[in-house]
Amino acid sequence: MKKNFFRLMLAALVCPLFLASCSDDDDAQSYINVLFNAAPAVEGTLDISALEGATVTFTEVRNQDAKSFVLNAEGVANAKLTPGTYNISIDKTVKNEQDEDVIVSLRMENVALTQNGQSVEGKVSSLPASALGKDFIFSEVFFNGETNSGRMMHPDQYIVLFNPTNETLYADGVCVAVTMHISWWDKKPWYDSYYPNRVPIGGFITIPGNGTDVPVAPGEKLVVAFTAVNHAEVVATVQGKDDEGNVIDVEVAYDHAVDLSGADYEIFFGPDASDVDNPAVPNVLISENGDSYGFFFQPRGYVSPLLFRLKDGKQETIDAFIAANTSKFTQTTNEGDVETQIWSVETSSIIDGIQTSDVPQDVKTRVIPEVVDRGKFLVNGCHRQELCIRKEVKVGDRIFYQDTNDSEADMQNVNDRKAAGLTQNAFPLGWRNK
């Protein structure tokens, strides 16, 4: 009995030491040291010492565990992490020489960190927090689509442009483009040849006019519909079953249809595309790159929208832009050289953009540069009636919209909106007179 007692006592004394020793061994085996070095994305735009005291956050992709480490005056941080794939981020507000607030940010997606002593360089972007309200922004983008009832996939999608300035802006010559790279793809071979200084686009639409034909007053909007009809009045015939189980034709409509008959402009792809044209609504000009998907909204957000501006909305101006911004990327494959035609927009010319995707795929490769949007807007899935709309900011008795170039902070939460019974938000015929 005494022997057993002493054995138990000995075990009680030894086990903590043994466990501590094992824990130390596991700790040594399961962690790696990573040297992170921050550098300006564009040389000369940021004194890196301004990052001293900022934190760099590593979020493990698989389990979303996040760890933060402090940067020193050289922009260096020593990170102790478990091996894995990480998203890396930095956010800090600093002052520039003009005493303006400058937001410094970094987003790196899917970085494999597996080697002890591995080094990672992160290119940080910086932009004035006051660089807002200088041109049109997206106040709403409904790319997600209504519940699909067997009709054309995306007739109820739309775009709302908003004038956030205190002056009249002219919309003719404003272009809405969609990115060529899909957000959940791995980087394509041509990606690094363009991004982040240029953004390849699949196609774009342009508001027509001579440059001063389409005035939009401060705080006012312009609606562009894919199909400018009242979708509540559209009925489709799909197959269903009667009470006896027989297959029959059933007429169905959208669950939460939106009235787009009062849109300012319509995107009409032509009768060959089985599209519908509302003759009361003028059409935009459509430009599509045949070596890409062209211009369309993917309902899961896998292509992202961006805005840029031409001097006017004439076809010859559009043609000149395409000619000046078309390049060829040649890739050598087992079958030989493959040449891809790429249209691209200079990042400095983009006036607004939203990094979009869905929750299941998230963002594997950023397609909207951080200086345009350092966040992301995700829908839960395809055709969920989830609207991308900015948070409202009351200015006197007028409604403006939050725009800090961070869509995670600027956009209303889709789940909160749905819980409140809110879906689309576009305006019906006659809305301007209300």
Interval 257-286: pLDDT, tens: 788 999 999 999 998 888 889 999 999 999
User: What pLDDT does residue 164 have?
Assistant: 87
Mean pLDDT of 332-361: 92
Question: Model-level pTM?
Answer: 0.79
Question: For 333, what's the count of Cα atoms within 13 Å in the CB-facing half-sphere?
Answer: 9
The answer, yes or no, to whether residue 23 has pLDDT greater than 50, is no
User: What pLDDT does residue 277 have?
Assistant: 93
CA pseudo-torsion sign 427, 429, 433, 434? negative
Parallel, antiparallel, or unpaired for β 247-252 and 236-241? antiparallel
Mean pLDDT of 139-163: 82
Tokens, residue 323: 């000619």
Percent of the chain with pLDDT over 70: 86
The answer, yes or no, to whether residue 8 has pLDDT greater than 90, is no
Our CA dihedral for 179, 156, 356, 405, rounded to 10 degrees, sits at 90
The backbone torsions φ and ψ at residue 418, rounded to the nearest 5 degrees and listed phi first, read: -65, -35
Asked if residues 88 and 111 have their Cβ atoms less than 8 Å apart, the reply is yes
Q: What is the mean pLDDT of the chain?
A: 86
Tokens, residue 111: 């970085």
Q: Among 133-147, 170-184, 342-356, whose mean pLDDT is lowest?
A: 133-147
- What DSSP state is assigned to residue 412? P
The answer, yes or no, to whether residue 220 has pLDDT greater than 50, is yes
Q: Residue 6 — pLDDT band, cuts 50, 70, 90?
A: very low
The backbone torsions φ and ψ at residue 407, rounded to the nearest 5 degrees and listed phi first, read: -65, -25
Is-cis flag, bond preceding 196, omega within 30?
Answer: yes
In the block, residue with structure tokens 């009768």: 271
Burial 68-82 (b: 16+ CB within 10 A, else e): ebebeeebbbebebe
Q: Residue 26 — pLDDT band, cuts 50, 70, 90?
A: very low
Q: Among 11-20, 78-87, 314-323, whose mean pLDDT is lowest?
A: 11-20
User: What pLDDT does residue 150 have?
Assistant: 54
User: What pLDDT does residue 179 have?
Assistant: 98
Q: Which residue has the higher pLDDT, 275 or 301?
A: 301
Asked if residues 284 and 265 have their Cβ atoms less than 8 Å apart, the reply is yes
Q: From CA 106, how far away is CA 124, in angstroms rounded?
A: 5
Q: Which residue has the higher pLDDT, 14 or 186?
A: 186
Q: From CA 384, how far away is CA 414, in angstroms rounded?
A: 10
User: What pLDDT does residue 36 have?
Assistant: 98
The answer, yes or no, to whether residue 149 has pLDDT greater than 80, is no
Burial 330-360 (b: 16+ CB within 10 A, else e): eeeeeeeeeebebbbbebebbbbbbbbbbee
The answer, yes or no, to whether residue 14 has pLDDT greater than 60, is no
User: What pLDDT does residue 20 have?
Assistant: 42
User: What pLDDT does residue 338 have?
Assistant: 85
**pLDDT tens-digit readout, 378-428:** 999 988 889 999 998 876 667 888 898 999 999 999 999 989 988 887 766
User: What pLDDT does residue 201 have?
Assistant: 98
The backbone torsions φ and ψ at residue 316, rounded to the nearest 5 degrees and listed phi first, read: -70, -30
* 70, 95, 100 from 73: Cα distances, Å: 10, 16, 21
- What DSSP state is assigned to residue 413? P
Q: From CA 35, how far away is CA 51, in angstroms rounded?
A: 16
User: What pLDDT does residue 367 have?
Assistant: 96
- Among 313, 282, 301, which Cα is nearest to 175's? 313
Element (H or E) spanning 88, and its range? strand 84-95
**pLDDT tens-digit readout, 128-140:** 554 456 899 999 9
